[in-house]
Amino acid sequence: GAGVSQSPRYKVAKRGQDVALRCDPISGHVSLFWYQQALGQGPEFLTYFQNEAQLDKSGLPSDRFFAERPEGSVSTLKIQRTQQEDSAVYLCASSLSARGQFFGPGTRLTVL
C-alpha cells in the first residue's frame, strides 16, 4: 500500500493478557518508530529500528514491552501481561530520512 498500515485498529484485552500489534511500513523505508499516545497527550517515543536492528529502545516503559522487525520490514510490538495503564493508542511511523516520519492510523488498545 501507499501508506503505513497497522493492525488491528482496535484491541480490547483483559488485564494480564498478552497482545501483539502489527505495523506495515511504507515500502523501502529503512527507519521504523513506535510511539505511545495516551488520551489527551502527545505521542511519546517507544523504540526505533533501522532495518532489522533495534537501535534505540529507551522509551519502552517496562520489560513487558518488546518489539521486533526480523526482516527489516513488518514490525510487531508485543505487550505481555497487559495492565490498565497500557491503554493508549500505539502509533507506528516510518521514514526514509530525517525529512519526516509518516504515521499509520494507530492501534487503540483498551485494557479492562
Partner 1 sequence: AQKVTQAQTEISVVEKEDVTLDCVYETRDTTYYLFWYKQPPSGELVFLIRRNSFDEQNEISGRYSWNFQKSTSSFNFTITASQVVDSAVYFCALSERVVQGAQKLVFGQGTRLTINP
19 vs 33, which CB is nearer to partner 1?
Answer: 33
Query: Would the CA dihedral through 104, 32, 81, 89 be positive or negative?
Result: negative
Question: Interacting stretch for partner 1, rule CB under 8 A, among 19-27, 33-41, 66-74, 76-84?
Answer: 33-41
Q: Identify each DSSP E strand in 1-112 by its residue range.
A: 5-7, 10-13, 19-24, 31-37, 44-50, 53-56, 65-68, 75-79, 88-95, 102-103, 107-111
C-alpha cell at position 95: 521514514
CA distance 112 to 105: 22
- Check residue 62 for interaction with partner 1 (CB under 8 A): no
5 vs 83, which CB is nearer to partner 1?
Answer: 5
Instruction: Count residues near partner 1 (CB under 8 A).
Output: 27
Question: Interacting stretch for partner 1, rule CB under 8 A, among 14-22, 29-37, 62-70, 78-86?
Answer: 29-37
Which positions lie near partner 1, rule CB under 8 A?
Answer: 31, 33, 35, 40-45, 48, 50, 55-56, 89, 91, 93, 95, 98-106, 108
